[in-house]
Amino acid sequence: MGGRRYVTGNWKMHTSRAEAVALASGVVAQLQQVPAWDPDVVRVGLAPPFPFLEAVRDAVAGHPVELVAQDCHAEPRGAFTGWVSAPMLASVGVRRVIVGHSERRQHAGEDDALVRRKLEAALEAGLDPVVCVGEQLAERDAGRHEAVVEAQARGALEGLDPAAYARVVVAYEPVWAIGTGRTATPEQAGTMHRFIGGLLASFGPQAAGVPVIYGGSVKPDNIDGLARQDGIAGALVGGASLEAGSFVQIVRGVAEQARAGARS
C-alpha cells in the first residue's frame, strides 16, 4: 500500500510535566536510530495532555515530530470553563487534533453531530483533524459494526469541502480493543479498514485518498501484522506510547512496511 502513513502517540491523562518532556525527548532521540523511517512518508505525532503541549513542543523543536492535541471545543471562544478551543491549540504550535475519540463519546457524551462541529472548528483554525470511529463489543457481536462505523463516518465526513479531505486522517478504533489488551486480529482490522476506505471513496474522489489508521491496543508485537494489511495507513497508539522504546518500535514497524510497499 502506498501513500503517506501516520503514527500518533495519544498519552491520554498520563505523565507529569517532567515525565512528558523526558518521554518526548526519548522519542526524538530513538527515532534518529530508525534507518527505515522517512518523516515525509511516516508522519509521527505526540498528543500529550493539554498542560504539557508547550513543553513537548519545545522538546521536539527542530525535529520532524508533530504536536497533536487530544481534543478541542467546537466553538472558537466563549464562556466554556475548562475547555480548550482549536484556535488556542493552533496558537501554541499544535498541528493536528484528535476528535471523536471513543473515550470522549463514552465519558463526555459526544455524538456524531458534535464530532462534526469539532472537525469543522479544527479545519477553520488551521488544524488537521484525526477523526475516530469504532464500534462497541456488543455492536460487533450483533453484526452491527459496519453500520455503526458507517454512521459515525458519514456524520463526521460526508459532504465536506472536497479540499478538506486532504487534511483529514481517520482512526478506526474498535472500542472493545482499547485499553483491554485485546486487539482486533490483523484480518478483522484490515477488513474494516477496507470497508471504511470504500465508504470514504463514495463521498467523492478527494475523500478516496483519506488515510485510515488503526487504534486499539497497538503494541510492538502486533504492529507488523497490522501494518501489512492493505488499507491500514498507520496507528493511533495509546498505552504503548507511554514508553519511548515501545512507541519507536511501532514507528519502525510502520516505516519498514511503508518501505516494503514502496519497493513492491
Residue 2 has pLDDT above 70, yes or no: no
Q: How far is CA 246 from CA 29, 59, 203, 241, in A?
A: 13, 19, 36, 7
Residue 228 has pLDDT above 70, yes or no: yes
Known active-site residue 173: yes
* pTM for the whole structure: 0.96
Whole-number percent of the chain with pLDDT over 90: 91
Q: Return the amino acid letter for 237.
A: V
Q: Residue 137 and residue 161: Cα distance in Å, rounded?
A: 33
Span of 10-19, 172-181, 227-236, 237-246 with lowest mean pLDDT:
172-181
Q: Which of 66, 120, 139, 173 is catalytic?
A: 173
Q: What is the pLDDT of residue 15?
A: 98
Residue with more model confidence, 264 or 211: 211
Contacts of 241 (CB under 8 A, 6+ apart): 9, 10, 11, 46, 247, 250
| Helix, coil or strand: residue 15 | coil
Q: Residue 75 and residue 239: Cα distance in Å, rounded?
A: 30
Closest to 11 measured CA to CA, from 131, 21, 213: 21
Mean residue pLDDT across the chain: 95
Q: What is the pLDDT of residue 68?
A: 99
Q: Which of 73, 101, 145, 193 is catalytic?
A: 101
When pLDDT is cut at 50, 70 and 90, the band that residue 67 belongs to is very high
Summarize pLDDT for 15-62 with one digit per residue, the tens. Answer: 999 999 999 999 999 999 999 999 999 999 999 999 999 999 999 999
- Cβ-based neighbour number of residue 240 at 10 Å: 20
Q: Give the residue carrying C-alpha cell 496558537.
A: 91
When pLDDT is cut at 50, 70 and 90, the band that residue 130 belongs to is very high
CATH of 32-191+216-239 among 3.20.20.70, 1.10.1040.10, 3.40.50.150, 1.10.260.40: 3.20.20.70
When pLDDT is cut at 50, 70 and 90, the band that residue 152 belongs to is very high
Q: Give the residue extent of every domain in the chain.
A: 32-191+216-239
Mean pLDDT over 160-184 rounds to 89
Task: State how far Cα 134 lies from the chain centre.
Answer: 12
Q: What is the pLDDT of residue 66?
A: 98
Summarize pLDDT for 87-106 with one digit per residue, the tens. Answer: 999 999 999 999 999 999 99
Mean pLDDT over 96-118 rounds to 97
When pLDDT is cut at 50, 70 and 90, the band that residue 177 belongs to is confident
Bin 136: left if φ > 0, else alpha if -120 < ψ < 50, else beta.
beta
When pLDDT is cut at 50, 70 and 90, the band that residue 261 belongs to is confident
Known active-site residue 243: no
Residue 262 has pLDDT above 70, yes or no: no
